[in-house]
Amino acid sequence: MSVLPSYSPSPRANATSELAATDTIKGSGLKVLRRAVCLGVLGVAATHAPLATAQPQSSLSTHVYSASDAGQRETLYCGRQPLTVELLGDWMAVTLNDDTRMLQLTRSASGARFEAVGDPDTVLWNKGELASVTWSGQELPTCAPRNALVLPFRAQGNEPFWQVRFDGWELELLQPGEPAVSMSAVVAESKPNSVVLQGTGAAQPLELRVSDETCVDTMTGMPHPQTAQLTYGELAATGCADSPLRLLQGGEWVLTQVGDTQLSAPSPTLTFLDDGRLAGMASCNRMMGSYTITGENLQLSELASTQMFCSDQQMAQEQRVLRALEAIRGFQLVGSNEVTFSSDAGDVHARWQAATP
């Protein structure tokens, strides 16, 4: 059973019923409602309920929190950044790196919302299988367990080309020269590192097995967080799944080298925020900007920095870094926590480090 609590009303439930359910949650630590399939860890195969999104969509079975659940821990991943949660009645212990904060259950119209006492800028809001987390005012990327399908979910492959789109209820299969096939879909199997999505109601059944193994698109070279295996009639194909952004978001990247030049301290850093914004240090100055990603390219734009003056060496390094970042066109993973950003001004090498609370 998953640790995070969640309340998911029927699509037809009105605001009054939602608030009443929230009052029930608030009343006692032993009556915290949560769905049996919360976070897709257990109970999904038994209920065959559609996977939930960050917005409540379905009337799924609920679980009454009991003392036996207290003290269970679960790790979520906000992009790359791990976050540990432990439910303790009306309280939740949330740990980001070595910083543990106690959050208390608060009134909310949907989901289960926890807020740090005296710190309204630290909030965890669980809706369905996903969690939105704000830490000291900084919004983290969407947090999910390892085997989650982060919605809206997409998987695709080449030779033959295919694409699957899933919104938590409906699945759509696209193939060149063929009409789009839409069907209902359920998570039929959930394991620590994989899930099986089954589509029904079409001319023939569809099965999509998604595993947490990094996948590189054979056509574009773009890395993705998950690998997918599709079976539909006579079609049996493999491909990649989930957004490449989740490989970059969460924590920060410490830049170590541009081209053949090793970078010196203070090391430049780069953080990919959840809303398409960039933040970091260019060396001497703070920098900010935006980024976009397509099927083939990663592009950084609107880069700007503060105007402090440092040593000539630092200023020269900063200008070199900024020129290289402005010319980035893609990225490749190197090992588990290193990345190379392809740039026309010299490839940029970086290593990942956890966020600093």
pLDDT for 201: 83
Q: Quick check: is 6 in a domain?
A: no
Q: Quick check: is 8 in a domain?
A: no
> pLDDT of 181-221, one tens digit each?
999 999 999 888 899 999 988 888 899 999 999 999 999 99
Contact 235, 217 (CB under 8 A): no
Closest CA to 130 of 114, 149, 115: 149
Task: Give yes or no: residues 78 and 163 share one domain.
Answer: no
pLDDT for 50: 33
Boundary (domain end) residue, out of 212, 243, 274: 243
- Could you say which DSSP state residue 70 is in? T
Q: Quick check: is 261 in a domain?
A: yes
Boundary (domain end) residue, out of 243, 269, 291: 243
> pLDDT of 253-303, one tens digit each?
999 999 999 999 999 999 999 889 999 999 999 999 999 998 779 999 999
How many percent of the chain have pLDDT more than 70? Answer: 80
Residue given tokens 């069907």 in the structure block: 183
pLDDT for 2: 63
> pLDDT of 14-32, one tens digit each?
333 333 333 333 332 222 2
pLDDT for 178: 94
Provide the CB-side half-sphere exposure for 152 (13 A, CA): 7
Task: Give yes or no: residues 31 and 108 share one domain.
Answer: yes
Closest CA to 88 of 23, 30, 129: 30
Closest CA to 44 of 208, 200, 187: 187
> pLDDT of 222-262, one tens digit each?
999 999 999 999 999 999 999 999 999 999 999 999 999 99
Q: Quick check: is 7 in a domain?
A: no
Amino acid of residue 31: K
Q: Which two tokens stand for residue 321?
A: 């870094």
pLDDT for 15: 37
pLDDT for 70: 53
What value does the mean pLDDT take over residues 60-70? 35
Q: Quick check: is 208 in a domain?
A: yes
Task: Give yes or no: residues 234 and 300 share one domain.
Answer: no
Looking at every residue in the chain, the average pLDDT score rounds to: 82
Amino acid of residue 82: P
Q: Quick check: is 5 in a domain?
A: no
pLDDT for 72: 79
- Could you say which DSSP state residue 169 is in? S
Task: Give yes or no: residues 29 and 114 share one domain.
Answer: yes
Closest CA to 279 of 291, 261, 295: 291
Domain count, the chain: 3
12: CB partners within 8 A, 6+ apart = none
What sign results for the dihedral spanned by CA atoms 50, 54, 56, 59? positive
Task: Give yes or no: residues 20 and 139 share one domain.
Answer: yes
Closest CA to 39 of 6, 72, 88: 6
Boundary (domain end) residue, out of 144, 167, 192: 144
Q: Return the H-helix or E-strand segment holding 116.
A: strand 112-116
C-alpha–C-alpha distance, residues 194 and 192, integer Å: 6
Buried/exposed code over 297-324 (b: 16+ C-beta within 10 A; e: otherwise) = ebebeebebeeeeeeeebbebbebbbeb
Task: Give yes or no: residues 171 and 137 share one domain.
Answer: no
Find the domain containing 126 and state its range: 15-144
Model confidence at 5, in pLDDT bands (50, 70, 90)? low
pLDDT for 357: 64
What is the residue-wise DSSP string for 229-271? EEEETTEEEEEEES-GGGGT-SSEEEEEEETTEEPPSSPPEEE
Contact 130, 148 (CB under 8 A): yes
